[in-house]
Chains A and B, each alone.
Chain A
Amino acid sequence: MAERPTSPHLSVYRMHRYTLLTSVLNRATGLVLALGLLVLVYWLMAVAGGPLAYARAAALLGGGIFKILWLALLAVFAYHLCAGLRHLVWDSGRGLERAQSRASAYLVLIGSAVLFAALAAWLLTGRHA
């Protein structure tokens, strides 16, 4: 007899279900934020490297393409923060009933969108300066 096949999983399971959607997004945003740290490290090294190095880094990181990258990172950060808070509540043993976790999934998706919009508006209108 041939070896038993493995039944399909990712290809058949409903991935846009609120449970999987929020979990996969949390993992993905975490990964992107970790990669974003590399940019932060570059910036910190430029700060330590003196005025010339800093001026070069500031010119590069303030450029057009990086502006879009910052906005993307901001969105990623907003989601990861909200999803992380949801996990914190779960770890205390609360909010784990089915209806509660479904509601909190939508809360995280909407809440992070609002948080992103607020942060982006604040940065883009220059009120922070």
Chain B
Amino acid sequence: MAEFRLPPNSRIRGGVTHRAPAGAQEVRTFRIYRFDPDSGENPRVDTFELDVSGCGPMVLDGLISIKASVDSSLTFRRSCREGICGSCAMNINGINRLACTTSMHELGREIRIYPLPHMPVVKDLVPDLTQFYAQYASVKPWLQTETPPPPDRERLQSKEEQEQIDRPAACILCACCSTACPSYWWNSDRYLGPAALLAAYRWIIDSRDEATGERLDALEDPFKLYRCHTIMNCTDVCPKDLNPAKAIAEIKKMLIERQS
């Protein structure tokens, strides 16, 4: 059920302010969600005034600079710094995006950073994605076939068939979409969420896959699929310009069409 208020242990209390050093040239104010699991205290929002004149242009550069020069305990995931690993997904100025592909200059002087919304927090900006990954696994994101492959070559696709799955297959599982979805906030225990459904769609329309019927059967459920109310936050935030909302609409259409 929809729980609009945060539980008591999740409400944000106070925070620490780190002032910029004297003589700073270009100061930006980072307000960053902090949670330390060892302290037993509630989460807080710390303020960091950072001189960004010496660091790279992206939000991730700012975070790395804070960790290196102000507070080494600041915890966040990052890896590729070029938008392909999906590790540094977080809520930046109210919208889910990748810290590594978001320029500080498009955000203004104040940059507010929270973990992906409505997720269990491991520490600071690191959410627990266990359930998100389990939902991805539940759509069986691999090729399923009955017929044996051709003895002398791979299972081939036409160019058009490949183009069908080109975009959906580019998902990096950063979880920006699912954690931007209010339906997922309120029903993540039963609604699969846009990322898992986009993955399901990618295999449903794969010309080589032979489990299309079973895949559709598995999704024909009031919660797994039909909690999508076309709010469109998923497509709005996807850092790879993919379209989970359209994928879900297409699955819904296929379920209707196969009834006739």
Query: A interface vs B, CB < 8 Å?
Result: 1-14, 17-20, 23, 87, 90-93, 96-98, 101
A-chain residues with CB within 8 Å of residue B245 when the two chains form the complex: 90, 96, 101
A-chain residues with CB within 8 Å of residue B12 when the two chains form the complex: 8
Known contacts A91-B249, A96-B243, A97-B246; decide if A6 and B6 are in contact (CB<8 Å): yes
B-chain residues with CB within 8 Å of residue A2 when the two chains form the complex: 9, 37, 40
A93 interface neighbour in B116, B121, B233, B250, Cβ under 8 Å:
B250
B-chain residues with CB within 8 Å of residue A98 when the two chains form the complex: 235-236, 241, 243
B-chain residues with CB within 8 Å of residue A10 when the two chains form the complex: 4
| Residue from the set A1, A7, A20, A92 with the largest chain B CB neighbour count within 10 Å | A7
**Please, which residue of chain A has its CB at the minimum distance from the CB of B256?**
A91
Chain A binding surface SS class: loop
A-chain residues with CB within 8 Å of residue B40 when the two chains form the complex: 2
A-chain residues with CB within 8 Å of residue B94 when the two chains form the complex: 12-14, 17
In the bound complex, CA of A12 to CA of B232 (Å): 18
CB of B198, distance to nearest CB on chain A (Å)? 12
**Please, which residue of chain A has its CB at the minimum distance from the CB of B253?**
A93
Known contacts A12-B91, A19-B233, A93-B253; decide if A5 and B9 are in contact (CB<8 Å): yes
A-chain residues with CB within 8 Å of residue B230 when the two chains form the complex: 23, 87, 90-91
User: Chain B 1-45 against A: per-residue CB contact (8 Å), 1 yes, 0 no?
Assistant: 000101101101000000000000000000001010110101100
